[in-house]
Amino acid sequence: MFNKRLLVLGLMAASTTLIVGCKEEAKQDDSAKLTTLEQKANYIIGQNIGRNLKNGGLAIEPESLALALADIRDGKDSRISEEEMQKIMQEVQEKAIAKQEEEQKKLSEENQTKGKAFLDENKAKEGVVATESGLQYKVITEGKGAKPKATDTVTVHYTGKLIDGTEFDSSAKHGQPATFPLDGVIPGWTEALQLMPQGSKWEIYIPSELAYGAGGQGPIPPSSTLIFEVELLEIKAPEAAAN
């Protein structure tokens, strides 16, 4: 059920400057004074409303906002029925979702193209090895220990970056090495670490389909090719990890 109280709160939040905007061309009024707590609060929340409308792909209509404010101030009934409100807000939400999905699709396609170009160039560099899956790696330090199995638990130091050099995560940020079951991470990690002897430090280049794919993850945009520097510190078999 559409919450009418939320609508009222949103309308009340639009700042007094919106009403002024109905009388003049939309421009910044440098003479406007924001001195009282109410004026400042209205202005701040009004900016949030405008920002939300803009981010949702809707045009900012000061006249409509001012009309709603005036109706609330004067105690008038809403000009739109609650049933119609629900339909309108549903349509707004659907349009916002469609816009976001279109933007994500475009970004995904761009990242896919950039990632492929990066990997095509990278695999020709000295010391880079490419596997059949599309994974690439370069040995920085070759360890002399055993190689983990997919069922093992490993402890690593790592740094993760996008291909533009942006660092999105590292074990250093968490203040300690990371420990995880090797079959519980992205496919690129599972494959790469099974090739690494304990004590090794490698740079691993993971195509998006072996990472987080078109969905992305947190600070990782959709269809991103990832670069990890990984040092394999410890390997534990399932029985040892359980103890």
Domains (ranges, CATH) in the chain? 4-26+33-79 (no CATH), 113-242 (3.10.50.40)
Q: What is the pLDDT of residue 232?
A: 98
From the candidates 118, 137, 158, 205, give the one annotated as an active-site residue: 158
Average pLDDT over residues 146-162: 97
How far from 29 is each of 26, 48, 69, 212, CA to CA, in Å?
A: 9, 18, 20, 47
* Digit-coded pLDDT (tens) for 92-131: 889 888 888 999 999 999 999 999 999 999 999 999 999 9
Share of the chain above pLDDT 70, in %: 85
- Judge whether residue 62 has pLDDT over 70: yes
- Judge whether residue 2 has pLDDT over 70: no
How far from 90 is each of 79, 94, 209, 240, CA to CA, in Å?
A: 18, 6, 34, 53
DSSP per-residue codes, 134-182: S-EEEEEE---SPPPPTTSEEEEEEEEEETTS-EEEEHHHHTS-EEEEG
- Judge whether residue 175 has pLDDT over 90: yes
Share of the chain above pLDDT 90, in %: 70
Distinct helix (H) and strand (E) counts, the chain = 8, 7
Q: What is the pLDDT of residue 242?
A: 59
Residues in the chain, overall count: 243
Distance from C-alpha of 134 to C-alpha of 114, rounded to nearest angstrom: 15
From the candidates 212, 220, 227, 235, give the one annotated as an active-site residue: 212
The answer to whether the beta carbons of residues 146 and 198 sit under 8 Å apart is: yes
From the candidates 118, 137, 228, 235, give the one annotated as an active-site residue: 228
Of 8-12, 119-123, 225-229, minimum mean pLDDT range: 8-12
- Which pLDDT band holds residue 40 (cuts at 50, 70, 90)? very high
Q: Is 2 assigned a catalytic role?
A: no
The full 3-state SS of 189-229, as one line of letters, equals HHHHHHHCCCCCEEEEEECHHHCCHHHCECCECCCCCEEEE
- Judge whether residue 86 has pLDDT over 90: yes
- Which pLDDT band holds residue 55 (cuts at 50, 70, 90)? confident
Count CA atoms closer than 13 A to 155's CA, side-chain side: 8
Q: What is the pLDDT of residue 49?
A: 86
User: Long-range contacts: 109-117, Cβ < 8 Å, 24+?
Assistant: 109/223, 111/208, 111/221, 111/222, 111/223, 111/224, 111/225, 112/208, 112/223, 114/163, 114/225, 115/163, 115/207, 115/208, 115/223, 115/224, 115/225, 116/207, 116/225
Q: Is 137 assigned a catalytic role?
A: no
From the candidates 43, 169, 206, 220, give the one annotated as an active-site residue: 169
Residue 238, both tokens: 């399932």
Q: What is the pLDDT of residue 241?
A: 55
From the candidates 2, 45, 168, 183, give the one annotated as an active-site residue: 168
Beta strand pairing call for 167-170 and 178-181? unpaired
From the candidates 45, 49, 163, 186, give the one annotated as an active-site residue: 186
Q: Which is higher by pLDDT, 58 or 13?
A: 58
Q: Is 180 assigned a catalytic role?
A: no
Consecutive H or E run containing 236: strand 226-236
Average pLDDT over residues 131-142: 98
